Structure 1
């Protein structure tokens, strides 16, 4: 972690350290060297100190650390302060589960219910365009897909993503200009999605109608299908995830050639954008000997797709230790907070709304346990090994794809960059990995 990138310039007042001496530990020790101001490294120490107190059920010490954090946290401050405010919320949420009565004592920061809203399609488009967090994956994937389906007259995309098909208008437009003419395009999406933002105020079926109208305007033959099954609400609590695992497991039972209406004359593309992380990686449910994540990979391999795209955030958040997750998360999520600081004012509603979605991630990672913690990210390196273990072969991105992605990044702040690592494209911010994109084929099917 480059703490200098996240340093805060706003000093806070530190109370008399004698107030924080406890039999279990001393908060003054955590504050040593931080008097006069808290930079990223000091804040991280305090967060870990609080986590250790919670894991040892020392609610009193946890409250004391939260009091200090509450003096630096600010939802409209610098990136460090804004990030701290979300970690503080998550820790309070965790503490309330440990000791609800104690955490209501006078002086403890008050936890308001986290709020989100459903966006219009236009607002979602602006959300996606704000920073290249999603567009990087869209661009890399679409370019790779376009190359993989060259000369195929019929294309079927099985789309697993959390961004409501925002990826596809660009691909449809590119297919309309294909020298040999556009293919007949079919997109199939699941009716359920992980209960996470961004949320959309129209149904999946309405999204399909809009895509169909756009394809028609580009003279691209188009079909849109939704895999039948229970759907998760887009208006409820995005952190109420008890049923999410069950819904996703039910979905896997429908991923077969008959239910998907797979056809011999079509090129099948499987697109996974920020999706695999929500499939539990521990054995359970009706498949005691294999995780849903590995079961999903086995199922899609048997579908014999032309290409499989996997895009996700590049960090490992599946550690059982709370302190390990805090360290990893804190040293990663400064990236979007720092990036937004470069071009949006501190009181920008758009900025606060975008940060709130990362706040949901923090609250789930820190505040929840077991299957309620649905944010189980896997690093690009870890994902690559999992895919190889499942007998997939990596497909390197072409130079043309690299050029297209670089052209996209040139539209954004100069802090954004890209690098290649063993066939993987990685989006970076000031040299730090943020999002990875990979392409795969089942072994034995590569041309």
Structure 2
């Protein structure tokens, strides 16, 4: 008997394992009782068995474990089943590249991502505080840093299409000393990841300009034009599936950015920094990764403050089994959180989970330049910033109060904690997103 597993336009033939005997031993005993089980620990064990089989090119064992996983996974089941379904799809996608003939795989690796309207994107980021937490923290920290400055320039790197900026513009308009002149500069390209918008970067700029005019905030919007990109923002490279940063970094100069001495410069990185490759280009101590090169460049711009917000997990390991363990025990959070208020067949929920599945597939299915999801924990990022010569800036009590007020709007499972000078969004006590603030010079300077 064979079972067809389908997902994202793909299918794979899985053998019904009446006998789970392989050169590595019998997995019948090891996995006895797992079939039909919804236990997360058992599911994780199955995923690791499958990953180990793929890494050792044991096609038979991989097919057998996938068959068991297929009996556990469900895209409309409980959170564990839904999460498992995306891991299974990711493993199938990986298997199709490891041994495409033997695995009898059809179709592409992922479905096309839907582009949202601005209104839909606003609802998307409001579902859970995954993005709004960072918006709230960064806006509050920026407001404090530019207090009293008549001119402000924000160099903004974000995957959420400047969705945090209307709130910041509104807050600047209410300043007791009056609003500053505000200049926003954004890159013309972004990582090829959800959420996707059906409007261009220039369109976003026009919308922000109209809102700033309505709030009587003097406003400029500039786009860093990258010659390696097409007019639509697509990357013109043979490695187009990877986000190419090299040419962008060369444009981050005082001249290209038209930095002005009378402006307070702010650099905001929202779920963006981890898309910079951390692989070193050479083998000597002087060789740096693109991530470190970016930090060196922005430090040289001498900004008033740098805010870094990202997902608090370490998913950069070269080992597939290590990534599966970390990813499975991290990305259950949004699946579990969505369960608290959206029905199982909600299109909004399915779409959000699909975007998380897009992340899972990249983490599990790809290697080399194609694996762009290379998260590092807040603790590791903090050490990297300190090693690059940045100085940690603590968040004020007003920022903490604003975040707590935000979390009151969401399910009771969401919380916040402090780790050194870092603020961390938690779900049922588990870290999900961190926020840090940095200065390029110490207070004594």
State the TM-score, normalizing by the size of structure 2.
0.92
TM-align CA RMSD: 2.3
State yes or no: 1:253 paired with 2:258.
no
Counterpart position of 1:196: 193
- What runs of 5+ residues in structure 2 fail to find an aligned partner? 1-14
Counterpart position of 2:114: 117
1:446–1:275 distance in 2 versus 1, CA, 3 Å: farther
C-alpha distance in 2 between matches for 1:159 and 1:50: 41
Secondary structure, counterpart of 1:401 in structure 2 = helix
Secondary structure, counterpart of 1:338 in structure 2 = helix
Counterpart position of 2:268: 271
8 A contact 2:75–2:85 mirrored in 1: yes
Cα offset for 1:33?
Answer: 4.6
8 A contact 2:271–2:311 mirrored in 1: yes
1:433–1:228 distance in 2 versus 1, CA, 3 Å: same
Secondary structure, counterpart of 1:34 in structure 2 = coil
More divergent stretch after superposition (304-313 vs 241-250)? 241-250
Cα offset for 1:72?
Answer: 1.3
8 A contact 2:93–2:109 mirrored in 1: no
Cα offset for 1:134?
Answer: 0.1
Deviations 1:44-86 (A, max 9, x none): 0000000000000011110110011111111111100100010
C-alpha distance in 2 between matches for 1:189 and 1:309: 15
Cα offset for 1:24?
Answer: 2.3
Counterpart position of 1:222: 219
Aligned counterpart in structure 1 of residue 298 of structure 2, from 300, 305, 324: 300
Aligned counterpart in structure 2 of residue 208 of structure 1, from 201, 205, 208: 205
Counterpart position of 1:409: 407
C-alpha distance in 2 between matches for 1:253 and 1:415: 43
Counterpart position of 2:164: 167
1:416–1:205 distance in 2 versus 1, CA, 3 Å: same
More helix by share: 1
Cα offset for 1:18?
Answer: 5.1
C-alpha distance in 2 between matches for 1:436 and 1:410: 18
Counterpart position of 1:5: none
State yes or no: 1:346 paired with 2:344.
yes
1:201–1:151 distance in 2 versus 1, CA, 3 Å: same
Secondary structure, counterpart of 2:189 in structure 1 = coil
C-alpha distance in 1 between matches for 2:35 and 2:156: 51
Counterpart position of 1:9: none
- What runs of 5+ residues in structure 1 fail to find an aligned partner? 1-14
C-alpha distance in 1 between matches for 2:369 and 2:257: 28
Counterpart position of 1:53: 53
Q: Which runs of structure 2 are paired with 1:299-338 in the superposition (5 Å)?
A: 299-338=297-336
Secondary structure, counterpart of 1:19 in structure 2 = coil
Deviations 1:367-417 (A, max 9, x none): 001111000000000000000000111111100000000000000000000
Cα offset for 1:17?
Answer: 7.0
C-alpha distance in 2 between matches for 1:166 and 1:55: 41
1:36–1:62 distance in 2 versus 1, CA, 3 Å: closer
State yes or no: 1:153 paired with 2:158.
no
State yes or no: 1:178 paired with 2:181.
no
Counterpart position of 1:383: 381
8 A contact 1:417–1:428 mirrored in 2: yes
Counterpart position of 2:10: none
State the TM-score, normalizing by the size of structure 1.
0.91
Aligned counterpart in structure 2 of residue 395 of structure 1, from 367, 377, 393: 393
More divergent stretch after superposition (275-284 vs 109-118)? 109-118
Q: Which runs of structure 2 are paired with 1:33-182 in the superposition (5 Å)?
A: 33-34=33-34, 37-104=37-104, 113-182=110-179
Cα offset for 1:163?
Answer: 0.4
C-alpha distance in 2 between matches for 1:146 and 1:235: 30
8 A contact 2:213–2:219 mirrored in 1: yes
Secondary structure, counterpart of 1:272 in structure 2 = strand
Cα offset for 1:219?
Answer: 0.2
8 A contact 2:36–2:72 mirrored in 1: no
Q: Which runs of structure 2 are paired with 1:226-245 in the superposition (5 Å)?
A: 226-229=223-226, 230-231=228-229, 242-243=239-240
8 A contact 1:159–1:188 mirrored in 2: yes
8 A contact 2:154–2:185 mirrored in 1: yes
Cα offset for 1:260?
Answer: 0.1
C-alpha distance in 2 between matches for 1:242 and 1:136: 33
8 A contact 1:197–1:357 mirrored in 2: yes
1:252–1:16 distance in 2 versus 1, CA, 3 Å: closer
1:329–1:28 distance in 2 versus 1, CA, 3 Å: same
Cα offset for 1:94?
Answer: 0.7
C-alpha distance in 2 between matches for 1:45 and 1:233: 46
Deviations 1:109-154 (A, max 9, x none): 9877423200000000000111000000000000000000000000
